[in-house]
């Protein structure tokens, strides 16, 4: 007999099937990710038609990916093809949905990138960080499924309400068990990661940069000099808060004018320096093997030739004061870093039998470390290589070039 009383995770029963809370929460998570991404693109004046149209492709692929990932780990429940695609039955895994959605999304938005001359890094920044927000919501579906739990702690968590404490166990636990609420840890960590990537990371470059009001003091006279906080203000704290808020808004407007709204004269714009590429000619005297070898050599030379480009003149034209920036791609890369860190921290609290596909805590941690490495590589590439090598006039990056 179970000490804890179970509860039904279905909110509606339809003849032959049921609607599970997990599925509802996953659907809400997907909608939140899409709306957040749409809003980000809308605020940056990026055409949203691609995102709106991709909904009808990415969502079904994401749901099928989530279902397939779950089924691969529960092959005993598969009795036919319909069981593989039965997303309405509630068995889905977030990892599969993310993986499938990423692959399909990369293909769709790469084509949009070429069409609208918008850097692929921009699309990654607008979409990937919001997946953390979706994960923060979706993980609560695991609570209703009574899964994603850790070791038994032997006692309830005093800081958690009873409606959570009473269900920190697996359905097959026959004794009073209180397991680590890993779903809750991941939900909170994902939310923190989303806040950092959206609201903090984009500003880090400006924190370490020289300031417009110091370079052009006459043009940008600091507001705290015009309207300083005086001793009497401390007796009315709301005045201090109001002035600090006005200082923050003033700084933002300075950066808008000094960098984002700055447009160089067309005659002064310098384009990216390109190194002349000379392809090896295929001659009639060459045999088949030699022709293949030359074609491959030309292909690789064409790719590596791009690394000899120099976008510094173009960047100098649009950023003459050389302000330090958090370049496009940093937020998108940050998603992989945060997701990997969350997994590395939480995996040791899980049983090997609970880990999908892998079945080994060590291997799972290794895979998570690879996610972190991927994120770091992308971050370094976006911040220090792509921004200096692969930029073109007329494309959108941090701003329109």
Binding residues, by number, are 139
DSSP 3-state assignment of 18?
strand
The number of residues making up the chain comes to 401
- Check if the beta carbon of residue 332 is closer than 8 Å to that of residue 121: yes
CA dihedral over 111, 115, 120, 125, signed as positive or negative: negative
Distance CA 235, CA 228 (A): 15
- Helices 182-195 and 120-144: angle between axes, nearest 10 degrees: 160
CA dihedral over 147, 152, 156, 157, signed as positive or negative: negative
Q: Which uninterrupted H or E stretch holds 11?
A: strand 10-14
DSSP 3-state assignment of 322?
coil
- Residue 394 structure tokens: 């007329």
Q: Which uninterrupted H or E stretch holds 10?
A: strand 10-14
- Check if the beta carbon of residue 374 is closer than 8 Å to that of residue 225: no
Strands 10-14 and 17-20 turn out to be: antiparallel
- Check if the beta carbon of residue 307 is closer than 8 Å to that of residue 389: yes
- Check if the beta carbon of residue 147 is closer than 8 Å to that of residue 137: no
Distance CA 387, CA 391 (A): 7
- Closest by CA position to 8, among listed 196, 172, 144, 153: 144
What are the angstrom distances between the C-alpha of 10 and each of 17, 64, 140, 247?
Answer: 10, 20, 14, 51
Distance CA 57, CA 100 (A): 11
- Check if the beta carbon of residue 284 is closer than 8 Å to that of residue 296: no
- Check if the beta carbon of residue 173 is closer than 8 Å to that of residue 147: no
Distance CA 80, CA 34 (A): 32
């Amino acid at each position: 007999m179970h000490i804890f009383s179970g509860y039904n995770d279905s909110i509606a029963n339809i003849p032959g099937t049921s609607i599970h809370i997990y599925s509802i929460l996953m659907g809400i998570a997907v909608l939140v990710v899409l709306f957040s991404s749409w809003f980000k693109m809308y605020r940056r004046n990026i055409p949203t038609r691609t995102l709106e149209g991709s909904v009808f492709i990415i969502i079904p692929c994401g749901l099928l990916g989530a279902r397939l990932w779950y089924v691969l780990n529960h092959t005993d429940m598969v009795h036919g093809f319909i069981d593989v695609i039965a997303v309405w039955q509630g068995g889905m895994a977030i990892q599969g949905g993310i993986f499938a959605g990423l692959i399909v999304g990369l293909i769709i938005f790469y084509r949009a990138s070429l069409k609208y001359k918008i850097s692929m890094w921009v699309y990654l920044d607008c979409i990937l960080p919001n997946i953390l927000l979706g994960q923060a919501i979706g993980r609560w579906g695991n609570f209703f499924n009574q899964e994603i739990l850790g070791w038994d702690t032997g006692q309830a968590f005093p800081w958690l309400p009873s409606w959570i404490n009473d269900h920190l166990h697996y359905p097959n636990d026959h004794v009073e068990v209180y397991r680590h609420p890993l779903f809750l840890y991941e939900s909170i960590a994902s939310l923190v990661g989303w806040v950092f990537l959206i609201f903090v990371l984009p500003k880090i470059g400006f924190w370490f940069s020289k300031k417009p009001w110091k370079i052009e003091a006459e043009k940008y006279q600091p507001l705290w000099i015009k309207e300083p906080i005086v001793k009497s203000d401390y007796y009315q704290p709301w005045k201090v808060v109001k002035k600090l808020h006005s200082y923050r808004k003033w700084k933002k407007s300075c950066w808008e004018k000094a960098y984002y709204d700055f447009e160089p004269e067309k005659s002064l714009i310098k384009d990216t320096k390109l190194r002349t590429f000379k392809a090896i000619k295929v001659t009639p005297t060459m045999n088949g093997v030699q022709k293949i070898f030359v074609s491959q050599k030309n292909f690789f030379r064409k790719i590596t030739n791009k690394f000899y480009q120099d976008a510094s003149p173009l960047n100098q034209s649009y950023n003459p004061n050389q302000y330090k920036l958090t370049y496009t791609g940093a937020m998108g890369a940050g998603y992989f870093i945060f997701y990997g860190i969350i997994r590395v921290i939480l995996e040791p609290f899980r049983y090997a039998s609970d880990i999908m596909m892998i079945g080994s805590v060590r291997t799972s941690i290794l895979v998570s470390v690879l996610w972190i490495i991927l994120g770091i590589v992308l971050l370094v590439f976006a911040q220090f290589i792509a921004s200096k090598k692969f930029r073109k006039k007329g494309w959108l990056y941090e701003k329109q070039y």
